[in-house]
C-alpha cells in the first residue's frame, strides 16, 4: 500500500513539474503583452578586435500604467528615475530569470516601467513624450523589449 502511494505521489509530482515549465510563447494568452527585460551594462563602445557584449535577460518587476506622458511624472534629478506617476496603475508582473514576461490586458495603450528599489525606470519615449507605450489590439499579442541601460556607457 505504502509502495503504491509513493509511486502515485512520484508520478503526480513529475506531471506537475512538466506542466509548470511551459514556454511563455505556448501559453493560451490571446491578448496582451509578451515581452523581454534585458540589462545592458558597462562600456558599449565598439572596440577593434572585441565582440560587443551581449545584453542578458533579468528578473524584474514590470509596472503597467495607462498611457503616461512625461508631464504626468516626477523624476529624481540625481538618478533620472521616476519617483511618482500620476496615471492609473493597471498591473504589476515579474519577469522570469531570463527576462521573459506576459500579461493579459484589455485593448488599449499602456506605458511600461521597471521597478528598481522604490523608483521606476523607463528610457523609451515617443515623439509626444509618452513613456514606453505599447498598444494592445483586440485579440492580439503586442511584443516589446525593455532595455535597462542606466549602468551602461556609450
pLDDT at 16: 41
HSE value, Cβ hemisphere, 13 Å, CA-based, for 52 = 11
Give tens-digit pLDDT for 80-101: 999 999 999 999 999 999 999 9
> What's the DSSP call for residue 137?
P
Give tens-digit pLDDT for 29-73: 899 999 999 999 887 888 888 877 788 999 999 999 999 999 999
Of 4-13, 27-36, 48-57, 137-146, least confident by mean pLDDT is 4-13
State which fold the 30-153 domain adopts.
Immunoglobulin-like (2.60.40)
Question: d(Cα 138, Cα 136) in Å, to the nearest integer?
Answer: 7
Query: 129 in helix, strand or coil?
Result: coil
Among residues of the chain, what percentage have pLDDT more than 90?
A: 68
Q: What is the mean pLDDT of the chain?
A: 85
Nearest to 103 by CA among 150, 149, 136, 133: 136
pLDDT at 33: 98
With 0-12 / 13-18 / 19 or more C-beta atoms within 10 angstroms meaning exposed / middle / buried, residue 117 is exposed
- pTM for the model stands at 0.79
Amino acid at each position: 500500500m505504502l509502495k503504491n502511494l509513493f509511486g502515485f505521489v512520484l508520478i503526480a509530482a513529475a506531471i506537475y513539474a512538466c506542466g509548470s515549465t511551459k514556454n511563455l510563447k505556448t501559453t493560451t494568452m490571446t491578448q496582451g503583452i509578451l515581452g523581454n527585460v534585458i540589462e545592458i551594462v558597462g562600456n558599449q563602445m565598439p572596440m577593434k578586435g572585441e565582440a560587443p557584449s551581449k545584453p542578458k535577460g533579468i528578473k524584474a518587476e514590470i509596472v503597467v500604467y495607462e498611457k503616461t506622458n512625461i508631464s504626468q511624472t516626477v523624476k529624481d534629478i540625481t538618478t533620472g528615475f521616476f519617483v511618482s506617476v500620476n496615471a492609473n496603475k493597471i498591473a504589476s508582473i515579474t519577469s522570469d530569470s531570463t527576462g521573459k514576461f506576459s500579461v493579459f490586458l484589455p485593448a488599449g495603450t499602456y506605458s511600461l516601467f521597471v521597478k528598481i528599489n522604490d523608483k521606476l525606470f523607463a528610457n523609451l519615449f515617443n515623439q509626444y513624450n509618452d513613456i514606453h507605450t505599447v498598444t494592445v489590439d483586440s485579440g492580439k499579442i503586442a511584443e516589446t523589449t525593455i532595455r535597462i541601460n542606466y549602468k551602461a556607457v556609450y
